[in-house]
Structures are given as C-alpha cells and as structure tokens.
Amino acid sequence: MAENSNVVTLKVHDISPQAAEVIAVTLVDPDGRRLPDWTPGAHIDLVMANGLTRQYSLCGDRWDAYSYRIGVLREPASRGGSAYVHETLEPGHLVGVSAPRNNFPFVPAKKYLFVAGGIGITPILPMIHQADLIGADWQLLYGGRRRESMAFLQELAKYGDRVRLHPQDELGLLPLAEFLGPPDPNVRIYSCGPGPLLGALEAVCSEWPRHFVRTERFVAEEHGPATHEGPFEVELARTGTTVTVTPEISVLDAIQAAGVEVLSSCKQGVCGTCEITVLAGQPDHRDSLLDEDDRAAGDCMYVCVSRSCTDRLVLDL
C-alpha cells in the first residue's frame, strides 16, 4: 500500500509575497494526487525539516482539490517556525503535513459579520468565498497595523464595499460596536486575530448568545508537540511483536508488514476506520477526526496517518 504512504508529505509549489511580512505558500502532492478534503476554518499542522510543528489555516480554494494555500506572517519573536518558512522554505522543498482539522467550523446562517485582525484574515477568506457562493449577506471588517502589512487585499477587492479595511495607523482601533450592532438571531460573528482584538470583541459582544460569536485565537508559536523525525518503535502488545516505523512508511504499513490485520479505508485520517487503542507512548496525531480533548486523552490513534512523539508506542493489537 505504498501508494498512500506519502499522504503526509507535500511539496512546496509556490511562494508569493502578499504583504510586507506575509507570504502565501502553495503546497501540492509530490505526485500530483488529490489532497484530503477540507472545510473553511480548517488548519493543517506543518511539520518542518527543523522538527518544529506549526498550525496554519487553509486559505485557498477547496474546489481545487490539488493544492493547499497557507498565509504565513513572519513573527518578530519567531523561534524558528515562521522564520523557517520565510527564510528557508523554497519551491520544491518537502514538508510534513497533517490531515486538515477544523476547530473553527463555518455554521449555516442568513448573515455573517467577519472581523479579521492581521494574519487572522486567513481562515476568514474561504468563509467569505462560501458565504458569497450561497448568497448569504455578509460584511468584513479587516484591521491591520498599516495598509502595507495587510495581506490578500487584491483578492478582497472584488467584493467591493462588503469589505471595510481599517489600517490602525490611518484609522485607529477597529470600530467593533458600530460594526457589529445589537444582537441579531440571524447573524453569526466570525473573528480571528490577536488576543487583544478577540478580548475587545468579547467585551462588545457580551449581550450576544455565546454560540453566535465564533472566534479563533492564534496558536502561540511555542505550542505544538515535538515530533519524531527519525524511526520509532511500535510494540503490538497482544501480538507480542515490535515493528520499526521509518520516516517513509506509515504506522499502518509497518503493522501490516508484520502480518497483523488492521482494517482501514480512506488512508487520509478522515474516515476513522483504522482507530487503534494506544496503551503507552504519545501519538503524534495527524488525522482530521480527534478534537483537542480527544488528542489530549492520547488513548487512541489513526494509524494510517498519525505517528509518534515518543521513541516508542504501545498499541492494543
């Protein structure tokens, strides 16, 4: 089943500047295959050659099944994540990628109010695309430190006056209260941006029912488990064998090569068929299925894509 074993490795196809410190990186399958499906609000984990893992929202077009696009801001205090992407990554390089996961799902509504701060525009872009597609009413308030630092302005231009740009150096802080207005049962608010913006938004929205207001906070750069770039061992507790998982094969491949039957289906970490109970060790989850609580529990994994953070995993097989 080697045909699918590279699903977690993608190739940098293109890097293009989008604003002063923002680049868009387009990723494709090295063999030109379809990529796993995603929905607006989804992110991928990018596993870099320096061993760091960073999360980036997908901001491309899901009707193109062959590429992912992410927007990456060079963070001044970067410890190697965004700095690596900006300085080292080049077209042709290979990067590890998780299956897309969505903690910021786009829910059905008649009207949407989007508030983006800085690079927080990235998950909002595909939401806008879809809101427009289904003919929902929507407005975007987009803030940044200055106009030149605000990415994807060219793409947003086609939406005309539905988009309000608000560079801080010209116009000051975002006029949240005026933009959002009073609570409205037909409206859902989506916002992504830095902590202070989301704090201000929460304060302005204190009268809104909780689920009307959906936000995504930037993940701190320090966050993200160290992943295992080299080979690791997987012990099959019931079978009594231990297999070695080298970087070019999946845990599933390694288990099957040892003659142990594991049912699987999608081989993309999407369907859930190959769930295996983890008895010891810390899985490096790269599937689409588990939410943060599930992941923290660490008691199961999808062996078609997920790997290991520890030198050894013990599975109930």
Q: Stretches 23-31, 107-115, 147-155, 165-173: which one binds another protein (CB under 8 A)? A: 107-115
Rounded to the nearest 5 percent, the helix, strand and coil shares of the chain are 25, 30, 45
300 binds another protein (CB under 8 A): yes
214 phi and psi, to 5 degrees? -120, 125
What the block records as the tokens of 310 is: 């520890």
DSSP code of residue 270: -
Residue of 49, 41, 53, 50 whose CA lies nearest to 100 = 41
As measured in angstroms, the least distance from the Cβ of 161 to another protein is 23
Residue of 185, 194, 129 whose CA lies nearest to 155 = 129
Of these, 69, 101, 267, 295, which contacts another protein (CB under 8 A)?
A: 267
Our CB check for another protein shows the closer of 158 and 211 to be 211
Query: Phi-psi region for residue 39, left (φ > 0), alpha (ψ -120 to 50) or beta?
Result: beta
As measured in angstroms, the least distance from the Cβ of 24 to another protein is 21
- A 10 A CB-CB count for 154 gives 8
Our CB check for another protein shows the closer of 62 and 145 to be 62
As measured in angstroms, the least distance from the Cβ of 137 to another protein is 15
Cβ atoms of 256 and 232 within 8 Å: the answer is no
Of these, 56, 84, 104, 212, which contacts another protein (CB under 8 A)?
A: 212
195 binds another protein (CB under 8 A): no
Residue with tokens 């080298």: 246
Q: Stretches 44-52, 114-122, 266-274, 307-315: which one binds another protein (CB under 8 A)? A: 266-274
Residues binding another protein (CB under 8 A): 1, 34, 37, 39-40, 62-63, 65, 102, 105-109, 130, 133-134, 188, 209, 211-212, 256, 261-267, 271-273, 275, 289-290, 294, 300
